[in-house]
Amino acid sequence: MPHNLLIVDYALGHPGSVHDAYTFRSTRIYQEHDTLLPPDHWVWADSAYLLSTWCVTPFKKPRNGRLTANQRTFNFHLSSVRVHVEHAFAALKGRFQSLRDLWQNINSADDLRAAVHWIQCCLILHNMIIRFEENRALTETSGTLRWATQEDNSHLPGAENDGPDGNEQVGDRSYEGTPGHTHHERLKDILFDSPYSTAEHREDWD
């Protein structure tokens, strides 16, 4: 999802409670990331997903350990980017109240298709509204992004913290020595070295 809250990829049709990382495998970006993403491009994700060179997640706290100060700073800045995802959900459910609690009994394949089509219609209309606003030159101070930010200010990033524990059942890996881990560290260095970044190197706590 880009910064303007357009929903460019999604996965529907998994009834019941399914983990985000499992559903993510059904998306086109997961299956065709080599062709969809240009070189040196990636997507930001939360700690539920597996780290890779094209899918960047927060640093996880090692077992019986802690994150470095620079890793906590990286996580803080990543959350500032990912907050747009929560804003998109706020805009989508704010406009289409039926998505807050979709009253659709799933007893057959036809019921599931009906629910999927209903959600798809809402997603399409959501994107159409974003495009209409862009054509009318509405900006972050007057369009969907401003409204969604005010509607969903509970997800704004706060103080830096140690991030998710590294002993989570889902996605628990140390990533040490993997291409994803190397890419992770490189992005952290870029964050601190970029002249456009406000991040500053800090000494670790004793």
SS3 track for the chain: CCCCCCCCCCCCCCCCCCCHHHHHCCCHHHHCHHHHCCCCCCEECCCCCCCCCCEECCCCECCCCCCCHHHHHHHHHHHHHHHHHHHHHHHHHHHCHHHHCCCCCCCCHHHHHHHHHHHHHHHHHHHHHHHHHHHCCCCCCCCHHHHHHHHCHHHCCCCCCCCCECCCCCCCCCCCCCHHHHHHHHHHHHHHHCCCCCCCCCCCCC
Instruction: Tell me the pLDDT tens digit for each residue of 146-205.
Output: 655 555 555 444 444 444 444 333 333 343 567 777 877 878 877 777 776 777 766 555
Instruction: Tell me the pLDDT tens digit for each residue of 58-84.
Output: 988 888 888 888 888 888 888 888 888
Domain membership of residue 111 (yes or no) is yes
Domain membership of residue 165 (yes or no) is yes
Instruction: Tell me the pLDDT tens digit for each residue of 41-53.
Output: 888 888 888 888 8
Residue 71: domain span: 20-193
Give the pLDDT confidence score for residue 35 in this predicted structure: 92
pLDDT, mean of residues 100-111: 81
What is this structure's pTM? 0.64
At 124, the pLDDT band (50, 70, 90 cuts) reads very high
Instruction: Tell me the pLDDT tens digit for each residue of 10-19.
Output: 888 776 677 7
Domain membership of residue 4 (yes or no) is no
Domain membership of residue 70 (yes or no) is yes
Domain membership of residue 164 (yes or no) is yes
Mean pLDDT (the chain) is 76
Domain membership of residue 184 (yes or no) is yes
User: How many structural domains are present in the chain?
Assistant: 1
Give the pLDDT confidence score for residue 176 in this predicted structure: 53
Domain membership of residue 151 (yes or no) is yes
Instruction: Tell me the pLDDT tens digit for each residue of 29-42.
Output: 899 999 999 988 88
Domain membership of residue 201 (yes or no) is no
